[in-house]
Amino acid sequence: MSDSFEIFTVKVLPAGLQYDVEGDLSLLEAADMSRVQLPSSCRNGTCRTCLSRLVSGEVTYTIEWPGLSAEEKAEGYVLPCVARPLTHVVLEQPDASAC
């Protein structure tokens, strides 16, 4: 069994930005490393500044219950600061930009 991690691609709409997530990085950490700016503040899943809509793909969380309501989760919202991709991901985040 290998200890290597898969690399997943994240596309950010509507800006058309794209970056890769490798290892156990969160969507936000990988964006920062790739010079893609997503809105953020607390970086621990409580302030909700990074709230984005998951258009496609799957994520898992680094904390048991991120600061999302059950309704928000059902509508596809995620918190990139504490979300790790399980597949390639497409996010909708109107405030994203390239650094």
Alpha carbons 47 and 22: distance in angstroms, whole number: 25
Cis peptide before 85, with omega less than 30 degrees from 0? no
* Sequence-separated (6 or more) residues with CB below 8 Å from residue 70: none
- Residue 4 has a pLDDT of 63
Residue 15 in any domain: the answer is: yes
Residue 88 in any domain: the answer is: yes
> In the numeric block, which tokens belong to residue 40?
């953020």
Mean pLDDT of 74-94: 97
Which CATH number belongs to the domain containing residue 75 in this structure? 3.10.20.30
Residue 22 in any domain: the answer is: yes
Query: Over the Cα atoms of the chain, what is R_g?
Result: 12
Count of structural domains, the chain: 1
Residue 2 in any domain: the answer is: no
Residue 82 in any domain: the answer is: yes
Mean pLDDT of 12-34: 97
Query: What predicted TM-score, i.e. pTM, was given to this entire model?
Result: 0.92
The parent domain of residue 34 ranges over 7-98
Residue 1 in any domain: the answer is: no
Please write the tens of the pLDDT for every residue from 26-73.
999 999 999 999 999 999 999 999 999 999 999 999 988 788 998 999
